[in-house]
C-alpha cells in the first residue's frame, strides 16, 4: 500500500500521511509496514509522537497503538519496556505494559517472565502477567501452559481461568457452571 512517493518521505511525514488514511485496513497495513522497518528506539518514539498528534486532533488509533507497543517490546525487549513509562505518560500505563510485554514474551519469554517477577507492582499486574503468558503461548503452547501453571500458587493450579475476560474481572459464560 505504500506508494513510491510516500516511500521517499522522512519517517515523520510517512507516518503522518499513513495515519490520515480513511480506510482503517489500509491505514493499519501501511502503519504495520512502516513499523516493520523500525530499528532504533527513536523510530518508535517518532511513531508514538505521530499517533499522539493524531489523538490530539480527535483521531482514534487504538489498533496502531497496540501494534506499536507490541513491536516495541518484541524488538527492543527490556529497553523497549522500560521506555514505555516515559513515552506514554498520557496513556493507561497498565495497558501499555500489557502490550509491550506481550510482544516481548513472543521473542524472549524467559526474559519477559523474569522482568515481571522483578516488578510485581506494575499497574494491572495480574493482567500484565496474563498478557505475558499469552505471548509465550503464541510461541509455544506447551511452554505457555507450563509458565501459566507455574505462575499460580500450587493450591490454585488447574482451578483458575487465564482467559483475557477473567483477567479483567469480567464474568464470562464459561465460568457460570
DSSP character at residue 40? S
The predicted structure's pLDDT at residue 170: 55
Assigned C-alpha cell, 71: 513491536
The predicted structure's pLDDT at residue 177: 40
Q: What's the rounded Cα separation, in Å, for the pair 46 and 43? A: 5
Q: Are 84 and 100 in contact (CB under 8 A)?
A: yes
The predicted structure's pLDDT at residue 13: 87
Assigned C-alpha cell, 113: 517472565
Q: What's the rounded Cα separation, in Å, for the pair 147 and 133? A: 7
DSSP string for residues in 148-162:
HHHHS-GGGTTTS--
The predicted structure's pLDDT at residue 175: 41
pLDDT tens-place values along the chain, 177 residues long: 455 555 557 888 888 888 888 889 999 999 999 999 898 899 999 998 888 888 777 677 889 999 999 999 999 999 999 888 677 656 678 888 899 999 999 999 989 988 988 888 888 888 888 899 889 888 877 777 777 767 665 555 454 555 655 555 555 555 444
Backbone φ and ψ for 151, nearest 5 degrees, come out as -75, -15
The predicted structure's pLDDT at residue 171: 55
The predicted structure's pLDDT at residue 163: 60
Alpha-carbon dihedral 103, 147, 126, 88, rounded to 10 degrees? -20
Helix (H) or strand (E) holding 8: none
Amino acid at each position: 500500500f505504500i506508494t513510491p512517493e510516500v516511500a521517499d518521505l522522512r519517517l515523520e511525514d510517512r507516518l503522518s500521511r499513513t495515519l490520515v488514511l480513511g480506510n482503517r485496513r489500509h491505514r493499519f497495513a501501511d502503519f504495520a509496514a512502516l513499523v516493520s522497518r523500525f530499528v532504533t528506539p527513536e523510530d518508535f518514539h517518532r511513531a508514538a509522537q505521530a499517533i499522539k498528534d493524531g489523538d490530539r486532533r480527535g483521531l482514534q488509533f487504538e489498533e496502531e497503538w497496540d501494534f506499536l507497543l507490541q513491536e516495541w517490546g518484541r524488538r527492543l525487549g527490556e529497553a523497549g519496556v522500560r521506555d514505555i513509562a516515559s513515552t506514554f505518560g498520557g496513556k493507561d500505563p497498565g495497558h501499555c505494559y500489557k502490550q509491550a510485554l506481550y510482544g516481548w514474551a513472543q521473542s524472549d519469554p524467559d526474559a519477559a517472565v523474569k522482568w515481571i517477577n522483578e516488578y510485581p507492582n506494575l499497574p494491572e499486574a495480574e493482567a500484565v502477567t496474563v498478557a505475558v503468558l499469552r505471548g509465550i503461548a503464541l510461541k509455544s503452547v506447551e511452554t505457555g501452559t507450563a509458565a501459566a501453571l507455574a505462575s499460580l500458587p500450587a493450591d490454585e493450579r488447574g482451578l483458575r481461568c487465564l482467559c483475557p475476560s477473567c483477567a479483567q474481572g469480567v464474568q464470562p459464560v464459561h465460568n457460570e457452571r
